[in-house]
Amino acid sequence: MAQEQENSALRDARRVVIKVGSSLVTNDGRGLDEAAIGEWCRQMAVLVRQGREVIMVSSGAIAEGMKRLGWSKRPHEIHELQAAAAVGQMGLAHMYETKLRENGLGSAQVLLTHADLADRERYLNARSTLLTLLKLGVVPVINENDTVVNDEIKFGDNDTLGALVANLVEADALVILTDQKGLFTADPRKDANARFVHVAQAGDAALEVMAGGAGSSLGRGGMITKILAAKRAAGSGASTVIAWGREPDALLRLGQGEAIGTLLVAPTQKMQARKQWISDHLQLRGAVTVDAGAVAKLLGGGSSLLPIGMTGVEGDFSRGDVIAIRDPQGLEVARGLANYASTEARLICRKPSSQFEGLLGYLAEPEMVHRDNLVLKR
């Protein structure tokens, strides 16, 4: 069973988030590794041509900035780290843009903070942007916005960001490319009895006991951050692979189902995890009442909630808040994430999407609640 899981976790993945660490991207601090970045971009291009959607989360801005500034040691002062990130981000983005273009792919730089993903409205805006880029066949290259947010540099790491992005876009898999072959039961440099972990369940507490401390002086993480990232990614149903970034054709071989690195299997399927998250773990901020026709379409399965079917709006909620959807008798039919705030919902109630721009000044989404963000309660 373990081998079957290992052979299918990435083979069947359609949407993949790939994260690479600072030591790999910058060749242990000697500067951006053009050959390695070009190789990952070549493999990503093959994956895209196979019909997959790929997002890259890349560390390396601070390390590249340190190299350009002639610093041999990572500074401790926040303003110096921010300066290094600002300098390094220029080269990092240009390198990915160049190498992806050489392989026939467009690219987009996206700078995020954890705060962007904690705020519901900014979360949905970021999600919409990334999904649109993927539809356009563009590879988003994501990094933390280290130049402006203090705690992102002080406490953040891109393993966590990779997991948050996997949650954000509901990826099927997260691949963490690192300078280690994968996870061992102990540090193999110190323990001759350390055994390699081929497959385990993401979130298993024993994994955190196995993981060591921080790795190189360039990055902020270590194996423990990767274990915790896998646990976070599993919350939305994404399995994680931790593999050596210099393994020949690692991404392509993983896509073919080959067992490379350590696979941490998500215990919950993607759709189950998302429905559970919406249904059980978010506080309702308001409600909309819908007519009998809308109820029938929702209960029939596969339909989004359109404002034209709404008859009333209750509460004070924002875009991205969880709201109840009630039938004409006031009974909850479903709940989901609102695409419009309550003030806007009142304006577009009983209106077709063709009138939204005239009423609101813009058109965000044609649906009040998209079917992917909706859970039936009957």
pLDDT of residue 6: 52
DSSP-assigned letters across all residues of 292-334 = HHHHHHHHHSS-PBPGGGEEEEEE---TT-EEEEE-TTS-EEE
Chain segment 98-120, per-residue pLDDT in tens = 999 999 999 999 999 877 776 77
DSSP string, 16-74: EEEEE-HHHHTTTTTS--HHHHHHHHHHHHHHHHTT-EEEEEE--HHHHHHHHHT-SS-
User: Does an H or E element contain 279, and which?
Assistant: helix 270-280
Name the region of 58 (left: φ>0; alpha: ψ -120 to 50; beta: rest): beta
Which of 146, 142, 26 has its CA nearest to residue 79? 146
Q: What is the pLDDT of residue 220?
A: 45
Q: Average model confidence (pLDDT) for the chain?
A: 88
* SS3 of residue 278 by DSSP: helix
Which phi-psi region, left, alpha or beta, contains residue 231 (left: φ > 0; alpha: ψ -120 to 50)? alpha
CB-based contacts of 53: which residues, under 8 Å, 6+ apart? 14, 15, 16, 134
Task: State residue 368's pLDDT score.
Answer: 97
User: For residue 206, which phi and psi values (nearest 5 degrees)?
Assistant: -65, -25
Which ranges of the chain have pLDDT less than 50?
1, 3-4, 152-155, 213-220, 281
State pLDDT tens for residues 312-349. Answer: 999 999 998 899 999 999 999 999 999 999 999 999 99
Cβ neighbours of residue 120 closer than 8 Å, sequence gap 6 or more: 318, 319, 320, 321, 337
Domains, the chain, in order of start with CATH, read: 2-270 (3.40.1160.10), 282-376 (2.30.130.10)
Which residues are paired to 313 by β-bridges?
A: 288
Please name which of 230, 235, 329, 226 lies closest in space to residue 280, comparing C-alpha atoms: 235
In angstroms, rounded to a whole number, what is the distance separating the alpha carbons of residues 221 and 136? 33
- Tell me the β-bridge partners of 336: 323, 374
Which pTM was predicted? 0.79
**pLDDT the model gives residue 354:** 94
SS3 369: strand
- Are 374 and 305 spatial neighbours (Cβ–Cβ below 8 Å)? yes
Residue 180: HSE in the Cβ half-sphere, 13 Å Cα cutoff: 23
